[in-house]
Chain A
């Protein structure tokens, strides 16, 4: 292997790093993936699940762009559920409980098969920067690698400090060393560094748990699939998860131990995720609740460990045992690994451009937890996006930007670069104002063609999409041109089977728009054959049901389009614009938004300021 001649170097083999390396290589860039440990590529280091609300939307989008996450989930998922089934399709989300080993294996298989991709095991100690441009890296043993662009995904607990009770020590993820050298080097650069914290629950030995006494939670039937090109046949053996609850006794013990929690002693200063509170937080802040739900998740088919989701803690080990053993089914529980809280550094993502390139060092891209996000899905999405842009950049091609109305990935990136990460950033559907447009079911229709143009999408996926599109179009035509007359045999069948009145002539598309009808039943009732492509059938139904809302949201998108497309030159001097208040100038100066649309989403930027900015830009361009 030569040390020179790489197009892209990806540093870090986590979820951001693997998607980044694979995407760059798929686009034809000669790519090097550097990781401190080849065996941990694709490791799920926190809870063993992929997807869930908001997150699954990201997974499907990554998949639509040819990414690996959904395929790995299909090969490693040991329990699949679709959440929000009782609600509409826009907010439905697939979640897979994954076998850690199988997941890692699935990712590694793809990585090792990928053309244009070289993997090398070495920790990176330094980045080579010449004249403001990233040129390469220096590893722990002094090896230098050169490339045209770097994607840095080493966020897993940079400068980490682990807290268990009032004891603390430097460290990365349990069992992994913290990446201190690189962290130190990065901190010497002009990036703004912030501190966040998160926590994990103690892991339990399955053999010590009375599983029979716990409530069982089975996966869905029929079995869901994560990837657009995946199939149920890829799934391994399916198992169930369990649910139990904390009780008054548990809460008593935790409450009495609060003074031994670093969260309450003031030892931890980083801000933790509000959506993932520790058991200490839950009991302290919601004192009136005397029970909290715990999801007991298997770590894998062959693992003896269970992950009790919902009781992350940083109490001392003996307190952890004490409160765990008060919980139903856990009376004789053996803890295999204690829970802990970890504080870590992140780099303020407002220092990034909308292609995730840093503003201070050209051709250096950041993706994943280093940007203040949490979660495998958020990391993977950024890795993919950053790598696409790194390749585009070195090939002198246009930035690849996904807008807020195109993809959750677009929402994620836009939120990060305009709002920063005051707490670990996790995706929720409520973050997407165009939620009814950005659905799981249409991620391929939204993105696969874009991915194809970038060289990310293989022939098989492309064909799957084309088939789906064609069936949807044909079926729409058929529904619109098939009429049911009042009093006809078909009308009577509909009235009888579906309890609806057919008072005059309707086409099937109109009928399907009614709340009481679904595609399958309607088609069968009128004696036709439903299309066999399940994804296409689902698409037809959803598009008809949501038609009014889709139209309205598209209107809203069109209204904002001009602002989103109006670029702000990066050399603009906001202080020169006299009519702007100093507060507005300061915020704009700091964040240097790319477009008027982005500027308008920065907290504190008023509509009047936007108007003045537009007037100034106009003057600027005419004068220039």
Chain B
């Protein structure tokens, strides 16, 4: 007999890499419901349906194949759903996110194999191998998680986490010690703290630009005077990359966009009309648009021929990489230096000399330190956990304000805390009590 799990798990099943085909695999009782929800297709068993994958607003995430394997004749022995789309972290990430929205949870490392084994789908002799796989992938996932928890993101997250613990300490103290002088639910202290945390959490969501960049891709504007070599640079950056999507809606003939991937990091590259004073009405419009794109961009690549030309409205050392092109003509060596606080990359868009340096600089500038799919998934998990925490916090606030239900707020906080705990480590009920006793003088 099959031991069908009550939880439905999902993960990107294809190995890290760009381009080609990617698979999101789902296993568990919700598989069929998820298939119907995302595609509208009521799938025939083991039949490849060509279909569109929709997000919750019915926007199209991707299109590809859907295959449903009802239990017990599947990889894990449970109901299994495979969604095959265009590979690459962005699309796969969005697809996975959608599946999780529908009630699946991220698979633990090795969990598909574990379920397969537990359902007699894998040879007994492979038990050790499965155990090793679980160990190895757990380690990789832990490393990836560590990597994606670097820098400012981590700092803010830690801060949020600690404030959440502090809030729980106040709420639980008010519940478990009503005779003491700690009725924070009644005196408004908790509501204030909760509101502050919601703002923090919101700011964190907004500010995890890295997360957003990895989700949607970073937009990079290539700017410069006419004939500075913008198009050549765009072609050089795009030429060697596999995935190409052109003609995204909204492109105009004077602002050209390319979607490329840099070692798995998605980039929207916007080639702008040359920036110069002009009286031509059409060209003027083009220049206006270019300036508008520059304002919205995550990063500007400013092409110059000589260093006196670093003059562009909105360009700062933080958002701009200056590229001195045409070293094939001047005979200079490619390299990365700084000039007036700007990062300066010397290269030749024509020969490709120094191009690798630019790519690396671009990646570093957004802290893209985990180029593997593992890193991407780790970050996606974190963004997901924060979103779920935020949701619980907001319901909690409503429970407090409308129903005055401290115990329901406590329950929402427990969930929010558990969600962040998936990233930063969980805390036992006893640890929490310990925090209460060290924060307040309690006890008869």
> Contact string, B5-34, partner A, CB cutoff 8 A, digits 1/0?
111000000000000000000000000000
Cβ-defined contact, B127 with A430, below 8 A: no
Chain B residue at minimal CB-CB distance from A87? B406
Is there a chain B Cβ closer than 8 Å to A595's Cβ? no
Which B402-444 residues have C-beta < 8 A from chain A? 402-408, 410-411, 414, 428-430, 432-434, 437-438, 441-444
In the bound assembly, the distance between CA atoms of A419 and B127 in angstroms comes to 30
Write the nearest CB–CB distance from B214 to chain A, whole angstroms: 25
> Contact string, A36-50, partner B, CB cutoff 8 A, digits 1/0?
000000000001000
**Which residue from B131, B429, B432 sits with its C-beta under 8 Å from A579?**
B131
Is there a chain B Cβ closer than 8 Å to A611's Cβ? yes
Chain A residue at minimal CB-CB distance from B109? A608
Q: Which residues of A contact B135 (CB under 8 A)?
A: 579, 608, 612
Q: Which residues of A contact B406 (CB under 8 A)?
A: 86-88, 91
In the bound assembly, the distance between CA atoms of A622 and B126 in angstroms comes to 13
Cβ-defined contact, A274 with B434, below 8 A: yes
Is there a chain A Cβ closer than 8 Å to B110's Cβ? yes
Is there a chain B Cβ closer than 8 Å to A412's Cβ? no
In the bound assembly, the distance between CA atoms of A430 and B432 in angstroms comes to 9
User: Which of A10-18, A257-265, A281-289, A466-474 touches B?
Assistant: A281-289
How big is the A interface, by class?
35 or more
Cβ-defined contact, B407 with A436, below 8 A: yes
Cβ-defined contact, B7 with A559, below 8 A: yes
Cβ-defined contact, A84 with B175, below 8 A: yes
Chain A residue at minimal CB-CB distance from B180? A293
Q: Which residues of B contact A561 (CB under 8 A)?
A: 6
Write the nearest CB–CB distance from A280 to chain B, whole angstroms: 12
**Which residue from B108, B131, B432 sits with its C-beta under 8 Å from A578?**
B131
Write the nearest CB–CB distance from B130 to chain A, whole angstroms: 5
Write the nearest CB–CB distance from B118 to chain A, whole angstroms: 5
Is there a chain A Cβ closer than 8 Å to B308's Cβ? no
Cβ-defined contact, A428 with B444, below 8 A: no
Q: Which residues of A contact B247 (CB under 8 A)?
A: none
Is there a chain A Cβ closer than 8 Å to B132's Cβ? yes
In the bound assembly, the distance between CA atoms of A569 and B36 in angstroms comes to 42
Q: Which residues of A contact B118 (CB under 8 A)?
A: 614-615, 618
**Which residue from A276, A292, A422, A615 sits with its C-beta under 8 Å from B114?**
A615
Is there a chain A Cβ closer than 8 Å to B111's Cβ? yes
Write the nearest CB–CB distance from A165 to chain B, whole angstroms: 22
Chain A residue at minimal CB-CB distance from B139? A608
Write the nearest CB–CB distance from B93 to chain A, whole angstroms: 23
Q: Which residues of A contact B430 (CB under 8 A)?
A: 415, 419, 422, 431
Is there a chain A Cβ closer than 8 Å to B179's Cβ? yes
Cβ-defined contact, B134 with A619, below 8 A: no
Write the nearest CB–CB distance from A195 to chain B, whole angstroms: 19
Write the nearest CB–CB distance from A593 to chain B, whole angstroms: 16
Interface centre among B128, B130, B444 (most CB of A within 10 A): B444
Q: Which residues of B contact A577 (CB under 8 A)?
A: 131
Cβ-defined contact, B114 with A614, below 8 A: yes
Which A433-453 residues have C-beta < 8 A from chain B? 433, 435-436
Q: Which residues of B contact A277 (CB under 8 A)?
A: 437, 441-443
Which A381-438 residues have C-beta < 8 A from chain B? 415, 419, 422, 428-431, 433, 435-436
In the bound assembly, the distance between CA atoms of A431 and B108 in angstroms comes to 26
Write the nearest CB–CB distance from A518 to chain B, whole angstroms: 12
Cβ-defined contact, B407 with A295, below 8 A: no
Once A608-B109, A611-B111, A614-B118 are accepted as A-B contacts, the answer to whether A428 and B441 lie under 8 Å apart by CB is: no
**Which residue from B186, B405, B441 sits with its C-beta under 8 Å from A285?**
B441
Is there a chain A Cβ closer than 8 Å to B176's Cβ? yes
In the bound assembly, the distance between CA atoms of A47 and B132 in angstroms comes to 55
Cβ-defined contact, A90 with B407, below 8 A: yes
Once A435-B407, A614-B114 are accepted as A-B contacts, the answer to whether A83 and B178 lie under 8 Å apart by CB is: yes
Is there a chain A Cβ closer than 8 Å to B349's Cβ? no
Write the nearest CB–CB distance from A94 to chain B, whole angstroms: 13
Q: Which residues of B contact A616 (CB under 8 A)?
A: 127, 131
Chain A residue at minimal CB-CB distance from B395? A548
Q: Which residues of A contact B124 (CB under 8 A)?
A: 619, 622-623
The 6 closest A-B pairs by CB, nearest first: A579-B131, A274-B437, A286-B441, A309-B444, A608-B138, A88-B407
Of the A-B pairs whose beta carbons lie under 8 Å apart in the complex, a sample of 18, sorted by A's number, is: A87-B407, A88-B405, A274-B443, A275-B442, A276-B443, A285-B441, A292-B441, A293-B181, A422-B430, A428-B433, A430-B175, A433-B429, A435-B410, A603-B428, A611-B114, A615-B131, A616-B131, A623-B124
Residue ranges of B at the interface with A (Cβ–Cβ < 8 Å): 3, 5-7, 108-111, 114, 117-118, 120, 124, 127-128, 130-132, 134-135, 138, 172, 174-181, 183, 185-186, 402-408, 410-411, 414, 428-430, 432-434, 437-438, 441-444
Known: A428-B429, A607-B108. 17 other contacts (CB 8 A): A53-B178, A87-B406, A90-B407, A274-B434, A274-B443, A309-B444, A428-B176, A430-B176, A435-B411, A558-B6, A578-B128, A579-B131, A608-B109, A608-B138, A614-B114, A615-B127, A618-B117
